[in-house]
């Protein structure tokens, strides 16, 4: 018997409003010991996903220099100084989750076989995917949830029977 999405999904989803600041998001993810969260609009509809990676990339990009630029050492120093001034000014206006989130949301139906989900996650380089029933999101499957297929003997046997 094929293992389906609803059998391994995490049904409780901790979503955050797109208007939260990036710092508040970072605290929320850390406090809940998760690496990402769905992002909701004012109506409570999921409009994207924000992760620790998004926060890290935003901060890293604000501090890095352009490797392709052919600048003199003086021009490089001036560019670095200007970047720091801009980053400092940006720090005065809080960056919101909507500014760093990934707006596309991939999902699978509750009845989707986990083999198909694994293929989607690998092809799209995803660490999490939403699970839906009709148009409503009912859960999330993460790489941790996929590990259940290996760690839980009954699920492992059911997967092996379908090869």
| 16-65 pLDDT tens trace | 999 999 989 999 999 998 888 899 899 888 899 999 999 888 877 665 55
The average pLDDT across 140-151 equals 89
Q: In this structure, what CATH number is given to the domain that contains residue 151? A: 3.10.580.10
Is residue 27 in a domain?
A: yes
Residue 92: which pLDDT band, with cuts at 50, 70 and 90? low
Of 123 and 43, the structure prediction assigns the larger pLDDT to 123
Helix ranges (H only) for the chain are: 5-8, 22-31, 52-63, 73-92, 97-100, 114-124, 143-151, 153-161
Range of the domain at 40: 5-56+96-161
SS3 content of the chain, % helix, strand, coil (to 5): 50, 20, 30
Total domains in the chain come to: 1
Within-domain flag for 75: no
Contact of 125 with 80, CB cutoff 8 Å: no
- Residue 80 covered by a domain: no
Tell me whether residue 107 is in a domain: yes
State how far the Cα of 120 lies from the Cα of 114, in Å rounded to an integer.
Answer: 10
pTM of the model: 0.69
């Amino acid at each position: 018997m094929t293992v389906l999405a609803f059998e391994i999904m995490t049904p409780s989803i901790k979503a955050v409003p797109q208007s939260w600041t990036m710092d508040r998001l970072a605290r929320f993810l850390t406090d809940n010991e998760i690496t990402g969260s769905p992002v909701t609009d004012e109506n409570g509809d999921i409009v994207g996903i924000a992760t620790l990676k998004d926060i890290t990339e935003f901060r890293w990009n604000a501090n890095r220099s352009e490797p392709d630029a052919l600048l003199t050492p003086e021009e490089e120093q001036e560019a670095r100084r200007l970047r720091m001034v801009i980053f400092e000014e940006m720090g005065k206006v809080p960056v919101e989750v909507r500014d760093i989130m990934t707006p596309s949301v991939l999902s699978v139906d509750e009845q989707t076989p986990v083999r198909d989900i694994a293929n989607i996650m690998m092809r799209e380089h995803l660490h999490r995917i939403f699970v839906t029933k009709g148009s409503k999101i009912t859960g999330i499957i993460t790489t941790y949830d996929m590990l259940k297929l290996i760690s839980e003997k009954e699920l492992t046997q059911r997967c092996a029977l379908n090869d």
